[in-house]
Amino acid sequence: MLYPNKIKKENKHVPVSHANRGMDLEKLINDANSYYLNNDIAVIYKKPTPIAISMVDYSKSNPEVKGLFNQKSTLDYVGLYKGKYLDFDAKKTLNKTSFPLSNIHYHQLKHIERIINHQGIAFLIIEMNNKVYILKGETLLEFINQDQRKSIPYSYIEENGYIVNFKYNPILDYLEVLEKIYFKEGALWKK
Amino acid sequence: MLYPNKIKKENKHVPVSHANRGMDLEKLINDANSYYLNNDIAVIYKKPTPIAISMVDYSKSNPEVKGLFNQKSTLDYVGLYKGKYLDFDAKKTLNKTSFPLSNIHYHQLKHIERIINHQGIAFLIIEMNNKVYILKGETLLEFINQDQRKSIPYSYIEENGYIVNFKYNPILDYLEVLEKIYFKEGALWKK
């Protein structure tokens, strides 16, 4: 990430962007998950980073591990809310007009499709233009199947996604939005 | 693991045990999960081993990682079957008469309790006496709450667990047993 101050020093004419300052989407989600766990609302956690372990040094009391990053085959978060299986990823783009689909790997799309087929809830939490949206897995797959485009226009996300407004505690109460999308009968269900 | 042949050479008087030969519970579960995924029956996977990464060497094209094992706060496997959230662990004991509860950590019990409270399915797959049993999370918690014992007698597992018989494909078709326990109305439900 480029820090505005550093850019300033190197090139005075580069506009200072606030887009990449302050909000840390992953931290907000983790904070919300802690809140949900501590208040017995849901059990949602980040999956550990998969590492292919090549060496373990057992000479130490707490063995040291060496390895390589493994490609993730699923999404970052998994959880349970009101008996429903949740599986989702957090994605951020600094692009203001469209969300590049290169952010999502083929095997992740496949995973989303499987989760939906087996009656789970799959979605993305997208940070874009300093706003946070929930985009249903169904909506994402529909867009990709219809338009063979390389990115999703921001207007599409604005129209078909659901905005997550910031509040006091947790700041990013995305379950409140999921509740409206998936759990309130009739409300915002779009199958 | 000690191989019987090696033991024989070193000490002729050590009885050859077949208990730790052949069956690899984790492999059987992974094979079953691959079968379920490939046949579009369920989406169940092993959670990656949590590693607290202390160093990443970006000088290589595939960055090398160093770190320490993190204690697991949940169970080993998570998944989705017929709209239901599954969360379980595989446990093996060579003890023939009882299953030592030291195999299960307090935070794992807490996790099982949370999953059940939020209407998920939590259980253990236990290998003991060359047999494989499913023990419902509810049954496990009930035993622990009633008897302040350090182990579960084998007879209790035989009576209150559900045996998973071996078959051709997948060899350890534990979903077939879950189906009877949790999904067939009335059948084997014990709440």
Q: How many CB atoms lie within 10 A of CB A155?
A: 10
B168, HSE (Cβ side, Cα atoms, 13 Å): 0
| Cα A43 to Cα B117: distance, rounded to the nearest angstrom | 10
- Does position A55 have pLDDT exceeding 60, yes or no? yes
Contacts of B49 in chain A (CB under 8 A): 48, 51, 53
Say yes or no: A109 contacts chain B, CB-CB below 8 A: no
Contacts of B74 in chain A (CB under 8 A): 45
Q: What is the pLDDT of residues A90-142, one digit of tens each?
A: 999 999 999 999 999 999 999 999 999 999 999 999 999 999 999 999 999 99
Tell me whether the omega of the peptide bond preceding residue A50 falls within 30 degrees of 0, making it cis.
no
DSSP bridge pairs for B99: B152
- Cross-chain Cβ contact B63/A69 below 8 Å: yes
| Closest by CA position to A125, among listed A11, A8, A44, A6 | A44
Looking at residue A185, its pLDDT comes to 64
Torsion angles phi and psi, residue A129, rounded to 5: 55, 40
Contacts of A45 in chain B (CB under 8 A): 73-74
Looking at residue A10, its pLDDT comes to 38
| Cα A68 to Cα B12: distance, rounded to the nearest angstrom | 43
Contact A69, B65 (CB under 8 A): yes
Q: Is the dihedral of CA A107, B173, B79, A115 positive or negative?
A: positive
Q: B68 CA to chain A: closest CA distance, Å?
A: 5
- Does position A191 have pLDDT exceeding 50, yes or no? no
Looking at residue A88, its pLDDT comes to 97
Torsion angles phi and psi, residue B189, rounded to 5: -55, 120
The pTM of this model reads 0.81
- Does position B133 have pLDDT exceeding 60, yes or no? yes
Say yes or no: B46 contacts chain A, CB-CB below 8 A: no
Contact A111, A75 (CB under 8 A): yes
B173, HSE (Cβ side, Cα atoms, 13 Å): 13
Higher-scoring residue by pLDDT: B66, A112: A112
| Closest by CA position to B88, among listed B12, B190, B162, B170 | B162
Nearest CA in chain B to A56: B68
Q: What is the pLDDT of residues B67-89, one digit of tens each?
A: 877 766 689 999 999 999 999 99
Looking at residue B38, its pLDDT comes to 96
Q: What is the mean pLDDT of residues B128-133?
A: 96
| Residue of B49, B64, B85 with shortest CB distance to A85 | B85
| Residue of A68, A84, A118 with shortest CB distance to B42 | A118
The model's confidence at residue A56, banded by pLDDT at 50, 70 and 90, is confident
- Cross-chain Cβ contact B70/A48 below 8 Å: yes
Contacts of B85 in chain A (CB under 8 A): 80, 83-85, 120
